[in-house]
Each structure stands twice: as structure tokens, then as C-alpha cells.
Amino acid sequence: MDKYKCRVVSQDLLAEGIFSLWIDAPQLVKDAHSGQFVSVFITDPSRILPRPISICDLDKENGLLRLVYRIVGEGTRLISMLTPGDAVELLGPLGNGYKIDTRKPLLLGGGIGIPPMLRLAKELRESGVAKEDIKVVLGFRDETFLLDDFEEVSTVYLTSDSGSVGVQGNVLDGVREYKIESDMIFACGPTPMLRAIKAYSGETGIKAQLSLEERMACGVGACLACVCESTDTDDHSKVHNKRICKDGPVFFAEEVVL
């Protein structure tokens, strides 16, 4: 994990408020993998803290990093204004990602938790899992994004809040509707979705790896700003806490309390 000065390659609008940013970052991407994130530093000197953004994709051959993010505040609005050739500072790769020892994976992505599932799907393909065995259920509000990318490497099922695409409801409604079976669940999305998946994991006995989100400050586990409640005692703080940025962001469902 280091801080790197990088260059923007491209930036495109995928859907309302959602951007795809490719960055030339060869030193950073060589050791990065699915489920990790980077901290993006803002050019505005009045904003000291970087913005954590999950890794969407990696092109290790060409040294490129892809971030897909939603504008949620002034920091991400400033990131969305970056153009090709602009300099950007990144800290990473950060956190612990997904463990992909499975032959029958089920990937569940909700909202802006969808982008990290893309790199995971590609790594599963690279590990030898067949495209038809990588089941991906994506939960959208209304407008879709990244579908072409997912369909290249996996079997995709859709859900949406309004029912405008796929099954009306959440990703677990999609799992039940399509009768999808798996031996390992991988998930990223809002906390209510992850809480439901944790319960589903307990009911079915299917192991689940959950990527948690929280406001972060340092991104390296020093400040304890992003702790979540854990089922065991943390070696660092000696209480029932886990640091999402350092111990996660990916945890097995039984490790955390949601």
C-alpha cells in the first residue's frame, strides 16, 4: 500500500450521477484484486481527507485501474470533473478483498455496490469457473449500467425497485424468483441488503462474504472512524469491533453484526 501520482485516461457518464473513471496506475494495480479499494485525493486543498472508492476493474497488462462511483457530495463531484491527462493522487490498494475458492459462486450487487462485482466476476473466470456458473444478480433503482461488461463474463439476472427491469424487488427476491443455487455468496451494497443476505446465509447454510461500507478517514486502520460491531474481539482495540478499512471491507457474514 503506497501513495501514487497517477494520470486520468478517461471519464464517462454511465447513468445519472454515476461515472466510470479509468486511471493509469501501473504500480498500484499490479498487486490489487477484487474487493479492495483506493483512496482518491481531492485537488481542493480545503478538503484534506481522500474519498474511498471500490475497485471496479483492473487492466494489469496495461497498468489501468477502473473506478465506477456515484456523486454523493462535493468530494465525488470534484472527482467527476477530472478529464484525460489530469493528475490524481491515489493511496492503495487498501483493505482485504474477496476469497474466491468456489466453483458455484453467486454475486449480489445492489446500487453502487454493483461495480466491485465486475472485477470479482472476471477473477472467477480467470480462476477457471465457467461463465454459466458465475451467477450475478444486480439490483438497480431504475437505470442500468455495466450490463455489457457483466454479460461478457457471467450469467446476469436483474432486479429493480420499480420493476422496470427484471424482477421487482431486491437481489434476494431475484435469487428466489430465478431459483439460483450456489456454494458461496459474494455481496456488496447498502447495509439493509447485506443484513438480509446475512440472514439468508444463516437460514440456508450458504457461506456469504459481505463488503461493508462506512465513512472513512485514514483508510489504513489508524483512526478507528469506520469500525463495525464484530462477533469476536479485535486484536487492535480489544473490544468487539472490526475496522472496515483495515480488517475488511470484506468479511464473512458470521464475523460481523449488522
Residue 7: give its domain's CATH number. Answer: 2.40.30.10
Answer yes or no: do 130 and 150 share one domain: yes
pLDDT, mean over the chain: 93
Whole-number pLDDT of residue 243 = 85
CATH of the domain at 146: 3.40.50.80
Is pLDDT above 80 for 65?
Answer: yes
pLDDT in tens, 33-58: 999 999 999 988 777 889 999 999 99
pLDDT bracket for residue 1 (50, 70, 90) = low
Confidence band, pLDDT 50/70/90 cuts, at residue 162: confident
For residue 158, is it within any domain?
A: yes
Mean of the pLDDT values across residues 198-220?
89
For residues 65 and 146, membership in a common domain is answered with: no
Question: Based on the domain organization, do 251 and 151 belong to the same domain?
Answer: yes
Q: What is the pLDDT of residues 210-237, one digit of tens each?
A: 999 767 777 777 777 788 888 887 666 6
Domain assignment of residue 48, given as a range: 2-94
258 vs 239: CA distance, rounded Å:
16
Q: Which of 69, 94, 119 is the last residue of a domain?
A: 94
- For residues 130 and 237, membership in a common domain is answered with yes
Query: What is the rounded CA–CA span in Å between residue 77 and residue 98?
Result: 29
The pLDDT of 200-205, averaged and rounded, is 97
CB 239 within 8 A of CB 233: yes
My answer on whether 59 and 155 are in the same domain is no
What pTM, to 2 d.p., does this model score? 0.94
Lowest mean pLDDT across 75-89, 104-118, 228-242: 228-242
Q: What SS3 class is residue 242?
A: strand
Same-domain status, 110 and 143: yes
Cβ-Cβ contacts under 8 Å for 178 (sequence gap 6 or more) = 137, 157, 167
| Last residue in a domain, options 94, 126, 158 | 94
Choice among 133-142, 186-195, 223-232 with the minimum mean pLDDT: 223-232
- Mean pLDDT of all residues in 77-104: 96
Whether the link from the prior residue into 93 is cis, omega within 30° of 0, is yes
Q: Quickly state the pLDDT bin for 76 (edges 50, 70, 90).
A: very high
**Buried b / exposed e along 24-57 (16+ C-beta atoms within 10 A):** bbeebbeebbbbbbbbbbbeeeeeeebbbbbbbb
User: In this structure, are 55 and 166 located in the same domain?
Assistant: no
85 shares a domain with 38: yes
* Co-location of 111 and 88 in the same domain: no
